[in-house]
């Protein structure tokens, strides 16, 4: 639609300027203060967006510092756009080519922490609402853009929102990939614990959502173990009395891309006769099969593919033995059945199951009107294949039912979220704004 394209071009300089200003607010979670549950920076970003929303002519609300929203239109039902203003830390800023909180523009890109995750896209969505309003596109529902503040850690913002506010009947989050993500695997994190001390001292892994790339053992110059490592072709380093097996890190959701150092060390220990029941479970039942068919059997479905099973952490000391696991299970499978299978398997090795975290899967059928509508808009605007995709990761769409992730990253483009020199391409963002205008108008008919 020509009017939409013209309006996007008209607003482009203002959109860029506002994104730059938002990036310049260092909205990393920090020390809570009264009315500012996630610290000064996050609160500053929330207030910035609410003030801007008022200037653009929207009704606004600050939800106790946990969330905010801007709204237009009338009607009993609400359709929603959900994005977040908090960002992950920049890490070593000296490794950045562009200042992480500068909002620099160069080479057709806006650089800075949050440029693509999620400040650029949520700003684009806000201006898409403004364009719907300016053009007088007919809407019969309320349209609400929700500003989250705690997406990068614990989602306390959405828990508070759901306690206090009306829930949109459907919507999207501009916080992932195109064409759209309609299926997100269930996330289950747990420990397998033996409450007996171990003479075999092991440590490895730093986070549940990462395949561990190192695992260390109190070595004591055991040449049988070295022979086992060499036999398997595993990489390792020896430093005085510590042996460290090396792997390759990867996100747990894509465990097959990594090489699990914890599993490799346990397999070599078991092979060389250095064993306990926890080591035997990893080496004999699990092995380097990140799909855990020895534990669960075949666990997969058509929408989302195979379950992944990542031994993310291990800590064997003189008090207890703890294995930390992250699994991403298919959207049509039941958590209870998976847990029962795990408990049956590990009980033979005197390991107890202790749940740490759980996020239910997201699955919006390909036949759902929202999915069909977004696919049509994407095809009309890009000419590209709109077949929905699944992921083992967790997008903000999981906060509500009948929500999906829709952009902003186009197929084949570099994934810069959480990376140094994070950026968003301006042309891609403006194309997203055009699609968001159409999506908002269609949802709110």
3-state secondary structure of 324: strand
Burial of 97 (0-12, 13-18, 19+ CB in 10 A): exposed
Q: Report which secondary-structure segment, H or E, holds 186.
A: strand 186-194
Question: Can you tell me the distance from the alpha carbon of 191 to that of 353, in angstroms, rounded to the nearest whole number?
Answer: 6
Does residue 364 contact residue 428 with C-beta atoms inside 8 Å?
no
**Is residue 351 within 8 Å of residue 286, measured between CB atoms?**
no
* Distance separating alpha carbons of residues 249 and 230, to the nearest angstrom: 21
Give Rg (Cα) of the chain. 24
Helix (H, G, I), strand (E, B) or coil at 132: helix
421 labelled catalytic = no
CA–CA gap between residue 444 and residue 79 (Å, rounded): 6
- Among candidate residues 86, 117, 326, 425, the one labeled active-site is 86
Active site residue 428: no
- How many Å from the N-terminal Cα to the C-terminal Cα in the chain? 17
| Furthest-apart CA atoms within the chain: distance in Å | 77
CA distance 241 to 144: 60
CB 198 within 8 A of CB 217: no
**Contact (CB, 8 A) for 19 and 408:** no
In the set 117, 151, 326, 434, the catalytic residue is 151
Measure CA 422 to chain center.
Answer: 16
How large is the angle between the packed helices 369-382 and 426-443, nearest 10 degrees? 140
Q: Please tell me whether residue 285 adopts helix, strand or coil conformation.
A: helix
DSSP E strand boundaries for 1-141? 59-63, 67-72, 78-84, 105-106, 109-111
DSSP state of 267: H
Cβ(332)–Cβ(317) under 8 Å? no
Active-site amino acid positions? 86, 151
């Amino acid at each position: 639609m020509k009017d939409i394209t013209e309006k996007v071009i008209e607003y482009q300089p203002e959109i860029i300027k506002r994104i730059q200003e938002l990036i310049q607010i260092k909205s990393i979670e920090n020390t809570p203060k009264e009315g500012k549950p996630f610290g000064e920076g996050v609160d500053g970003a929330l207030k910035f967006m609410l003030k801007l929303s008022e200037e653009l002519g929207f009704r606004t609300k600050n939800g106790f510092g946990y969330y905010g929203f801007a709204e237009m239109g009338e009607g009993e039902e609400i359709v929603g756009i959900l994005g977040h203003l908090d960002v992950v830390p920049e890490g070593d800023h000296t490794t950045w080519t562009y200042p992480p909180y500068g909002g620099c523009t160069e080479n057709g890109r806006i650089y800075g922490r949050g440029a693509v995750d999620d400040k650029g896209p949520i700003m684009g969505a806000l201006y898409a609402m403004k364009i719907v309003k300016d053009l007088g596109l007919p809407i019969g529902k309320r349209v609400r853009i929700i500003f989250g503040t705690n997406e990068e850690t614990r989602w306390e913002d959405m828990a508070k929102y759901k306690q206090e506010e009306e829930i949109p009947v459907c919507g999207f989050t501009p916080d992932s990939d195109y064409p759209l993500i309609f299926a997100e695997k269930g996330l289950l994190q747990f420990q397998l614990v033996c409450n007996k001390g171990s003479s075999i001292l092991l440590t490895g892994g730093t986070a549940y959502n990462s395949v561990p790339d190192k695992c260390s053992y109190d070595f004591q110059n055991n040449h049988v173990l070295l022979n086992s490592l060499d036999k398997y072709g595993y990489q390792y380093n020896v430093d005085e009395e510590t042996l460290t097996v090396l792997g390759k890190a990867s996100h747990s959701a894509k465990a097959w891309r990594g090489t699990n150092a914890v599993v490799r060390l346990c397999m070599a220990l078991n092979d060389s006769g250095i064993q306990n029941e926890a080591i035997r479970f990893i080496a004999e039942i699990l092995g380097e099969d990140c799909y855990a068919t020895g534990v669960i059997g075949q666990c997969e479905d058509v929408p989302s593919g195979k379950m992944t099973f990542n031994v993310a952490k291990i800590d064997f000391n003189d008090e207890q033995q703890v294995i930390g696991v992250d699994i991403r299970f298919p959207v049509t499978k039941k958590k209870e059945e998976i847990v029962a299978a795990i408990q049956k398997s590990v009980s033979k090795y005197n390991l107890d199951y202790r749940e740490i975290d759980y996020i239910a899967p997201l699955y919006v059928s390909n036949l759902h009107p929202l999915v069909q509508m977004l696919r049509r808009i994407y095809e009309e605007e890009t000419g590209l294949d709109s077949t929905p995709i699944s992921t083992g990761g967790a997008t903000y769409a999981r906060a509500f039912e009948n929500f999906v992730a829709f952009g902003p990253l186009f197929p084949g483009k570099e994934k810069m979220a959480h990376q140094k020199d994070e950026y968003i391409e301006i042309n891609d963002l403006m194309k997203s704004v055009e699609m968001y205008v159409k999506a908002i108008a269609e949802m709110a008919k």
